[in-house]
Amino acid sequence: MSYLKNLFFLFLLINSVACAGDKDYVITIETRHGNIVALLFDDTPEHKSNFIALAEAGRFDSTEFHRIIKGFMVQGGDVFTKEELPAEKWPTLPAEIRPNHYHRKGMIAAARQGNNINPERRSNASQFYIVQGKVYNEAELITDMEALQEAFMRYVQIGSQQDLRNEYKRLYEAGEFDSLTSLLVSKRDEIAESLSLKLTKNYTPEQIKAYTTFGGTPHLDQEYTVFGEVIQGMDVVEKIAAEPTDSREIPLSPVYMTVKAEKMSKKKIAKEFGYRYPDAN
């Protein structure tokens, strides 16, 4: 009889573990513009468990989207300022930067301090941002703009490039920076060949499609931990991003949030939100 009881207990344990694997946490961020629904990634476990714990404890509630840069991102969740914790005591999380997670529009990432004081790229343990970004053309996307700008300045010193140097100066003085970028990109291959340099970045076909179709902020890739994504409510993110701000990028009218974490079956998540898990068959 004891053998049968042990066997039954083992069956219940295995079954409960299996059922747990069939569920996930759905995050709902409620704002005056509507709700944003998100999922968090299993391969960033520190960030996922921390976010869920803060949400379940209600610690995100009444925090704001306190920093907004249209065409870039909306940032919020400053729990520790709300709780009046001195900045030097704010907890951080170890970086969980994964090559398969990049800054496509709708991705959720952790804010952090700069590399000069945070070379380990540790994340702020509460503040997060949602990527809005912009759509790129492929030539601009794959160009290493920093390297190109440096190479361009060398290239226009060549005597035969006087006309190019003058055109650059004209566009710069006129403040036509989009045209200036287009000029640099149009000369990329010519400069690369002339100076024997590599002036492009390596992106996967998936990344190129995402950034040239949906948009995002590719220059942040592999610098910040991306730990989730919006699965419903990007229109709400767009409305928040359109809020008027002051010179410090703070919205003139506060955008408060309430954050909930609800466990739901993956089957229901797929049905309600049309989400397909990466490991789904």
Domain 2-134+213-273, classified CATH 1.10.10.60, yes or no: no
Query: Hey, where are the domains in the chain?
Result: 2-134+213-273, 143-195
Q: Shortest CA distance to 112 belongs to which of 102, 120, 123? A: 123
- pLDDT tens profile 239-277: 999 999 999 999 999 999 999 999 999 999 999 999 999
pLDDT at position 3 over 70: no
Residues 6+ apart with CB under 8 A from 258: 29, 30, 60, 61, 62
Average pLDDT for 67-79: 97
Res. 11: pLDDT tops 80: no
Average pLDDT over residues 174-199: 95
* Cβ pair 280, 39 in contact under 8 A: no
